[in-house]
């Protein structure tokens, strides 16, 4: 029994080839899906370059635009090929061309062999998770999204507004409860073939093809129907910023990735030579047999989000200029300096007519510099 | 809620700026014949190449390190305009394998300090490329620049749909009189110029172009203490995904269309930004200042700057007790002089 790898690739094919060889060297059968947008010439070259690998297939090519059904169709086609052509595969791992295995592949194989019935797929209801971007959570499943968010943002937004205005709602096919999660899953043969061979599949496919970002919900929802045991987490370390864009890993993330103990990470910058060298050629990397623990590095990512969205209080610079009331904490306020006794006497005799103030008497003109008395707020 | 009056004002401003941008482009176009090609290697520019544009005059001393640093960051091609150099700058540049060189004998001042010439070249060669526009005394650094080349940054900006990248110009200076720190061509200038001002910056938002107007640093502190609003401008937008309809307005401090000046966050967060290490104060500055004062080719109102040049000719010490010693980008980021934003 072994693990089959589905790879969805669209750019940086030489890196994809390198990683494919790495999987293959550990005995994993591969099914590769190349986006339709990959030019025929590059695809041919890519195919030829990998032709010496023993267990490799190329599945029917779909157009995989972000947020559209194409990604699910591609995964379905590749999974079908995997299950039919490689009967020894017990777990199927969905990866992309920019995924990088961080631990020896054998560790992943052993890990999954110890858990033969478990599906690893992040899968939560909209009520459970607050991480959707752009205000579309439960509406993903009840509105229709025929227009591309990337290419036709105007039509996309308008059509959403019209449906909201008219109170239009789609009926969710009977028996399923929409779940969402990372699109990088690892499913057992049982669960996956149950999803693909379900007689109701045409109904589900028709429904999900109009759902917003179906690759984050199709398998995540249907796995709940059939799985005997779900671990709602992804074995692939992937991090997203506050706008839902993936964080990219560079050479300087080497230690951070090691510390995560995750099996696979995405997405890796194609030119991060040091990462590819370290994780793909370092055979001596000790077998750790530890649980993946992405939360060890979570703090760094949440700090980044905080810096991007809240910034450092009091800081004004070329890339932070908070509008009034948006400072997220003030470190100073407007102040006046009255110099000399006459100015102070004038105020004390006429009274102060400005905004409420906290008076702080200080000595400015002293050889050792100004000194302020301690004021309690 | 915006009032009708505000909307009206915004529309009028947008219209005016559109014409201003067109005027700048026409103005540059009319100067195209002032540029004579010396060495054309532009056929080497491939799709997606990162380009660097610069106008230079007698920068033979700075150029070796300037080229080395920015090559290492991953600039693929340099496009220089040489304005009457007499120190072998032109010769040196035309020998470089990744440099295309133009020359012009015309006035630097009348070309808006070289910007018109660069606008011509940017429209011709920069369209669709990430373009870095620098002076020879500026060294670009940004968070992680020692481990991530420029392509990592520009690809990330592309993914985020961001077309421009802001930087603070940071005056670097030595401790002691300016003339006393030796510098040889090719040396890292931050060894000789290892001090900077970390905190005395004034900042405001310009109404028309909506760029941030930052002033401060040692020059403001020493030469413009009594007229701080005259102090040099330190905010720049040096890296832009270029389009042939774009134009820099004044040096690289601001450009049109003005959305490209929005390199800052106004809701309290921090955008990713860098720093231009300004190596103006190498030991050659005193001689150069005397010459610049004679040429009167800098700044619109050269008279104002006479005193400034006199002070520099006097070989001053820019260092003070609150100066900070430069140790690298992490220090500048911790001090809030640049930010990694969400790029980590």
Q: Is 90 exceeded by the pLDDT of residue A236?
A: yes
Instruction: Let me know whether A230 and A94 are in one domain.
Output: yes
Q: Is A123 within the bounds of a domain?
A: yes
B265–A320 CB contact, under 8 Å: yes
Tokens of A165: 């205005």
CA distance A192 to A79: 8
CATH number of the structural domain spanning residue B117: 3.40.50
Q: Which of A244-253, A353-362, B196-205 has the lowest mean pLDDT?
A: A353-362
Q: Is 90 exceeded by the pLDDT of residue A342?
A: no
Instruction: Let me know whether B257 and B328 are in one domain.
Output: yes
Q: Is 60 exceeded by the pLDDT of residue A132?
A: no
b (16+ CB within 10 A) / e for A219-240: bbbbbbebbeebebebbbbbbe
Q: Is A269 within the bounds of a domain?
A: yes
pLDDT (0 to 100) of residue B203: 94
Confidence of residue A377 (pLDDT cuts 50, 70, 90): very low
A304–B342 CB contact, under 8 Å: yes
Tokens of A237: 């370390």
Instruction: Let me know whether A191 and A246 are in one domain.
Output: yes
Say if A307 is an interface residue toward chain B (CB within 8 Å): yes
Instruction: Let me know whether B132 and B260 are in one domain.
Output: no
Q: Is B19 within the bounds of a domain?
A: no
- pLDDT single digits (tens) A176-206: 899 988 899 999 999 999 999 999 999 999 9
Instruction: Yes or no: say if A364 and A339 are a contact pair by the CB < 8 Å rule.
Output: yes
CA distance A79 to A31: 8
Question: Which chain B residue's Cα is nearest to A322?
Answer: B266
Min Cα separation A303/chain B (Å)? 9
Parallel/antiparallel/unpaired status of strands A264-265 and A236-237: parallel
Tokens of B227: 């007229």
Q: Is 70 exceeded by the pLDDT of residue A282?
A: no
CA distance B204 to A190: 63
Q: Quick check: helix, strand or coil at residue A280?
A: helix
* Block residue for tokens 């026409």: B26
Instruction: Let me know whether B78 and B167 are in one domain.
Output: no
Query: Chain B window 188-247: which residues touch A at a Cβ cutoff of 8 Å?
Result: 201, 203, 205, 212, 214, 235
Type and span of the H or E element at A375 = none
**Residue A312 with chain B: CB contacts under 8 Å:** 270, 336
Q: How many domains does chain A have?
A: 2
Say if A159 is an interface residue toward chain B (CB within 8 Å): no
pTM of the model: 0.89
Q: Is B158 within the bounds of a domain?
A: yes
Is the peptide bond preceding residue B257 cis, with omega within 30 degrees of 0? yes
Question: Which chain B residue's Cα is nearest to A329?
Answer: B268
**Residue A322 with chain B: CB contacts under 8 Å:** 265-268
Tokens of B6: 């505000």
Q: Which of A120-129, A181-190, A366-375 has the lowest mean pLDDT?
A: A366-375
Say if A231 is an interface residue toward chain B (CB within 8 Å): no
Task: Outline where A127-238 has alpha helix (H).
Answer: 139-142, 153-166, 189-197, 201-208, 218-226
Say if A66 is an interface residue toward chain B (CB within 8 Å): no
DSSP state at residue B62: T
Question: Which chain A residue's Cα is nearest to B216?
Answer: A317
Q: Is B334 within the bounds of a domain?
A: yes
Q: Is B82 within the bounds of a domain?
A: yes
φ/ψ of B302, rounded to 5, equals -60, -30
Question: Which chain A residue's Cα is nearest to B233?
Answer: A318
Instruction: Let me know whether A216 and A271 are in one domain.
Output: yes
**Residue A241 with chain B: CB contacts under 8 Å:** 342
B339–A307 CB contact, under 8 Å: yes
Q: How many domains does chain B have?
A: 2
Min Cα separation A261/chain B (Å)? 19
Say if A243 is an interface residue toward chain B (CB within 8 Å): yes
In this prediction, residues A17-37 reach a mean pLDDT of 95
Q: Is B311 within the bounds of a domain?
A: yes
Type and span of the H or E element at B20 = helix B4-30
Q: Quick check: helix, strand or coil at residue B306?
A: helix
pLDDT (0 to 100) of residue B305: 72
Instruction: Yes or no: say if A55 and A165 are a contact pair by the CB < 8 Å rule.
Output: no
Alpha carbon dihedral A283, A286, A291, A293, in 10-degree steps, equals -80
Instruction: Let me know whether B199 and B339 are in one domain.
Output: yes
A319–B263 CB contact, under 8 Å: yes
> If you average pLDDT over every residue of chain A, what do you get?
86
Q: Is A354 within the bounds of a domain?
A: yes
Sign of CA dihedral B82, B84, B87, B88: positive
Alpha carbon dihedral A22, A28, A33, A39, in 10-degree steps, equals 30
* Better-predicted residue by pLDDT, B288 or A3: A3
Q: Quick check: helix, strand or coil at residue B309?
A: helix
Full residue range of the structural domain in which residue A44 is found: 2-131+178-292
The tens place of each residue's pLDDT in chain B, 344 residues long, gives 556 778 888 889 889 999 999 999 999 999 999 999 999 999 999 999 999 999 999 999 999 999 999 999 999 999 999 999 999 999 999 999 999 999 999 988 888 899 999 999 999 999 999 999 999 999 999 999 999 999 999 999 999 999 999 999 999 999 999 988 899 999 999 999 999 999 889 999 999 999 999 999 999 999 988 888 889 999 999 999 999 999 999 899 999 999 999 999 999 999 999 999 999 999 988 878 877 777 766 655 556 677 788 888 888 999 999 999 999 999 999 999 999 998 98
CA distance B11 to B4: 11
Which of B89, B114, B136 delimits the end of a domain? B136
Nearest to B264 among A304, A312, A320 (CB): A320
Full residue range of the structural domain in which residue B219 is found: 137-344
Instruction: Name residue B237's beta-bridge partners.
Output: none
Q: Is A315 within the bounds of a domain?
A: no
């Amino acid at each position: 029994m072994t693990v089959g790898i589905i790879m969805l690739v669209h750019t940086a094919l030489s890196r994809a080839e390198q990683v494919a060889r790495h999987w293959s060297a550990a005995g994993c059968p591969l099914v590769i899906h190349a986006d339709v947008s990959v030019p025929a010439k590059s695809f041919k070259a890519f195919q030829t370059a990998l032709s010496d690998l023993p267990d490799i297939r190329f599945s029917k090519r779909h157009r995989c635009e972000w947020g559209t059904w194409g990604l699910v169709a591609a995964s379905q086609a590749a999974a079908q090929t995997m299950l039919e052509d490689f009967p020894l595969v017990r777990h199927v791992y969905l990866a992309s061309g920019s995924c990088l295995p961080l631990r020896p592949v054998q560790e992943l194989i052993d890990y999954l062999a110890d858990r033969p019935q478990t599906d690893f797929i992040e899968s939560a209801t909209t009520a459970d998770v607050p991480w959707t971007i752009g205000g579309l959570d439960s509406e993903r499943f009840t509105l229709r999204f025929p227009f591309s968010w990337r290419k036709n943002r105007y039509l996309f937004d308008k059509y959403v507004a019209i449906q909201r205005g008219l109170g239009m709602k789609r009926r969710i096919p009977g028996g399923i409860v929409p779940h969402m999660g990372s699109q990088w899953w690892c499913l057992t043969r049982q669960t996956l073939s149950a999803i693909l061979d379900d007689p109701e599949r045409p109904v589900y496919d028709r429904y999900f093809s109009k759902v917003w970002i179906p690759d984050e919900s199709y398998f995540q929802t249907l796995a709940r129907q059939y799985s005997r045991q779900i671990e709602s987490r992804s074995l692939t370390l992937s991090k997203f910023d506050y706008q839902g864009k993936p964080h990219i890993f560079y050479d300087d993330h080497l230690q951070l990735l090691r510390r995560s103990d995750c099996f696979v990470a995405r997405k890796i910058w194609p030119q991060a030579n040091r990462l590819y060298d370290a994780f793909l050629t370092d055979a001596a990397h000790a077998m750790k047999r530890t649980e993946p623990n992405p939360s060890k590095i979570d703090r760094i990512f949440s700090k980044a989000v905080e810096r991007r969205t809240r910034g450092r209080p009091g800081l004004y610079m070329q890339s932070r200029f908070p509008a009034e009331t948006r400072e997220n904490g003030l470190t100073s306020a407007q102040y006046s300096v009255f110099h000399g006794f006459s100015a102070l006497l004038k105020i004390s005799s006429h009274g102060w007519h400005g905004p409420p103030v906290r008076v702080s008497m200080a000595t400015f003109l002293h050889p050792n510099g100004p000194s302020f008395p301690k004021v309690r707020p | 809620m915006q009032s009708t009056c505000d909307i009206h004002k915004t529309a009028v401003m947008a219209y005016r700026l559109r014409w201003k941008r067109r005027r700048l482009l026409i103005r540059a176009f009319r100067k195209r014949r002032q540029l004579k090609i010396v060495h054309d290697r532009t056929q080497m520019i491939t799709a997606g190449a990162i380009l660097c544009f610069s106008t230079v005059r007698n920068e033979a001393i700075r150029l070796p390190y300037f080229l080395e640093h920015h090559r290492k960051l991953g600039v693929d091609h340099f496009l220089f305009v040489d304005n009457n150099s007499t120190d072998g700058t032109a010769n040196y540049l035309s020998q470089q394998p990744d440099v295309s060189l133009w020359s012009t004998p015309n006035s630097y001042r009348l070309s808006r300090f070289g910007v018109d010439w660069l606008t011509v070249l940017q429209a011709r060669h920069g369209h669709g490329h990430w373009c870095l526009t620098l002076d020879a005394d500026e060294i670009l650094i940004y968070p992680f620049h020692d481990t991530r080349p420029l392509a990592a940054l520009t690809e990330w900006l592309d993914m985020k749909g961001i077309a421009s990248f802001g930087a603070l110009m940071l005056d670097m200076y030595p401790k002691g009189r300016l003339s006393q720190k030796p510098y040889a061509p090719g040396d890292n200038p931050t060894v000789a110029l290892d001090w900077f001002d970390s905190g005395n910056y004034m900042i405001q938002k310009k109404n028309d172009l909506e760029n941030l107007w930052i002033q401060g640093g040692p020059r403001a502190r020493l030469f413009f203490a009594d007229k701080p609003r005259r102090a040099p401008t330190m905010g720049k937008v040096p890296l832009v995904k270029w389009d042939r309809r774009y134009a820099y307005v004044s040096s690289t401090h601001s450009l049109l269309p003005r959305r490209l000046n929005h390199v800052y966050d106004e809701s309290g967060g921090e955008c990713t930004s860098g720093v231009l290490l300004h190596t103006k104060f190498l030991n050659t500055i005193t001689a150069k200042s005397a010459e610049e004062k004679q040429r009167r080719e800098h700044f619109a109102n050269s008279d104002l700057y006479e005193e400034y040049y006199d002070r520099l000719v006097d070989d001053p010490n820019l260092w003070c007790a609150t100066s900070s010693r430069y140790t690298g980008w992490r220090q500048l980021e911790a001090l809030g002089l640049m930010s990694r934003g969400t790029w980590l």
